[in-house]
Structure 1
Amino acid sequence: MANTKKNKTRIAAVGDIHVRETDSGKWKDFFTQVSEKADVLLLCGDLTDTGRVSEAEVLVEELRACSIPVVGVLGNHDYERENHKSIRKTLVKANVHMLDGDSVVLGEVGFAGVKGFGGGFDKGMLGMFGEQMIKDFVQEAVDESLKLDGALARLDSDYTDIKKIAVLHYSPIRATVEGEPEQIFPFLGSSRLAEPLNRRGVVAAFHGHAHIGTLEGETTKGVKIFNVSKPILIKEGYEPPFYILEV
């Protein structure tokens, strides 16, 4: 009888690394250790500290120490100076799988990613009503959710029996931003991002952004959500600060 046992994939994840121009040499040991412990590395946004292309170039040099595939999304810090397209291009040239409504399959796992956006959670979710600025804000969250759904749908149509992982920067649920001031919850994520996760049978999703949030939570349909912001991982005792999930 043929052996149908599937291999496990070790996924390492971290967000909010905020690489600076002065960080040359700082991250090489980190990426070396990740490569020894995992099969894939996820970078969940805020890859640069102030959105400078020069910071992304430092990250690229540090990533030379990483010998496993890297999948990433951008975060709000990467958009700070409107250099996000150049930052993305810099990382793509270094063979980082940068996702923005895209997907990539590595082994038996499909990764779909978007930055995401704010808007609030559950009954506190902002509605598309009132001034055009409010409508535009809500529309951005809707658009990000649709991009994520499209990326997951393409994985479903192109592959059978694949395990799906979502990579985000903003949170799709309230539980993993708990600990932050409640007044800023609308700027930390949106429940709209949880809808495609539930609909498409995602195994787990990783995000960052909320530095004082909570490591683990789940959607209403039981999809595991992990806030892997570097400050949270450090607080939880992860050293080096990356989280590993085996799927």
Structure 2
Amino acid sequence: MYSEAPLFLYTFLVCIGGGFIQSTTGFGFGIFVMVFFPLYLPVLQASGLSGLILIFLLCTLVWRYRKYIQWKQAVFPAVVYLIVSTITIHMASSINLSGINFWLGIFLLLIAIYMAFMNQKIKVKANCGVAAVCASLSGIVDGLFSIGGPPMTVYFLALLGNEKLKYLGTIQFFFLITNLMNSFNRITSGILKPFTLLLVFPGIVGQFIGIRLGNKVVDRIDSRHFQIFVYVFLAASGILTCISSFF
């Protein structure tokens, strides 16, 4: 078991990497940190920590794109998402999750495959049925791992993909309100412990540094090649997480 003091440094360093990836690829903070946080925290605490740290980044993005947010378009999927994720969080806190690391590994592997091969190929219609399905799937995954982004990205791209600023503003607003509610649920259900909450502070600092570093190099790197590296990293991490769950 890790002593507590080094966890501040680990969280700080991991969030530098997460912030860097988020600023250079436009996604991936939660995915990246959830490769490492479960190495020294229980999965539910790790997902809660990831969601809390991400809130501060989402606040800055929502403020930046506030003029373009399509408020009405975010309400219905947000309600479905919050109902499902709330149920998932409260159920997860009271059941045996000894094998959940295996499923986290599987999910990381599926995300890598989806982003590498199917992200640009899957086309859906933006209607209430699709919104409910995407929001429900995201709510379940977010409740367990705090990585509920991909299904909602599919939906909001179908809805607002031709209007980049509206898409960015609306999806960041959606994730802000859902992360706030999910973080509240994790605290009230006892998932997030006092010490875990303290790790938010080095995480925010690390995230900020990572974003600043990413902003400086984003125009100097081939984004497609960098994304391929991220996909391979995710796939390898998923496989290793699955294997490590047996030991």
TM-score in terms of structure 1 length: 0.30
Return the structure number with greater strand share: 1
More RCO (CA 8 Å, sep 6+): 2
TM-score in terms of structure 2 length: 0.30
Return the structure number with greater helix share: 2
